[in-house]
A = this chain, B = another copy of it.
Amino acid sequence: MSAPIRIGIAGVGKIARDQHVPALQHNHRFELAACASRNASLDGVKSFDSLEAMLAGAPELHAVSLCTPPQVRYQQARAAIEAGRHVFLEKPPGVTLSEVEDLARRADQANVTLFASWHAREAAGVDRARQWLEEARVQRVDVQWREDVRTWHPGQQWIWQPGGLGVFDPGINALSIMTRILPDEFFLERARLEVPENCQAPIGAELDFTDAAGTPIHADFDWRQTGPQTWQITVETDRGTLLLEDGGSRLSVDGEQLIDGEDVEYAGLYRRFAELIGADRSEVDIRPFRHVADAFMLAERIATAPFHDQD
């Protein structure tokens, strides 16, 4: 058994506390040894004011996990790579495709692992769905990803600003699952974005993709759903209809339930990160983010009712 990977977390906010810290505490391959945050700290680990201070002051670290907002992630990831550390990126991996590609090249040159993580891919039903679809011929795909932005992002103005991605913030989770489970590459043919007239980012998106075989692949992303929330992917095939629900944690085929799993997403991500480090490899699958960029480039934009966080 090799020595644990000593890791530091940059950005001690909600996602770090809710997901990263517990996942690291339950994974014996990692030792959480430091954190960097302007105004927060974690019990029992060395705290630094900034990533740069952590890189300089904790030379024992092998890796860092960036839980900071995407706007600062490029500079931080580059600094960590230049300091010879493996890097875990929260999703989305940056604000532009070009900067993420630049990071991938730099990690490769520096011989460190860069992992652009997509947590939804680790939901309990996703891997089994991928395996099942390998044996099937896909005939139609329908994705419904509908949630209430007021519940999930209360008071967060940045999501509506340029670069904030709007409804693609949850939608990219669906895209990360679609690119994992569908056996063929697909690409956008038409898109319609609904943008509140007082915002820069979309609150709704209707996307029509296809693949080389002409398969219709439709996705609806909506941030205005009150009541029950919907995160489901339906794949009609020659072997039956596959249904992934609850963001990928429940899987059924023709109504027969195959998996109804716990939330294991971040446990899976850190297991994968350790594997990649062990194998001296990176994993930067930019496809979910590229589909988002394609949608912004190709879409018809429709102005819709102004959005106010409090009605």
Contacts and interface: CB of A to CB of B under 8 A. Distances in A.
A105 B184 CA distance: 12
Nearest to A291: B98
A292 B96 CA distance: 10
Contacts of A299: 162
Contacts of A105: 185
A37 B191 CA distance: 29
Q: So how many copies of this chain end up in the complex?
A: 2
A306 to B, nearest CB: 15
A297 interface: yes
Contacts of A296: 293, 296-297
B297 A187 contact: no
Contacts of A301: 162, 200, 301
Given A187-B74, A296-B297, A301-B200, A98 B287 contact: yes
Nearest to A163: B298
A292 B298 CA distance: 11
A141 to B, nearest CB: 15
A56 B102 CA distance: 42
A49 interface: no
Contacts of A102: 185, 187, 212
A76 to B, nearest CB: 13
Contacts of A58: none
A212 B298 CA distance: 29
Contacts of A185: 98, 101-102, 105
A95 interface: yes
A186 to B, nearest CB: 8
A206 to B, nearest CB: 12
Contacts of A96: 187-188, 294, 297-298
A3 to B, nearest CB: 32
Interface of A: 74, 78, 95-99, 101-102, 105, 162-163, 165, 185-188, 190-191, 200, 212, 287, 290-294, 296-301
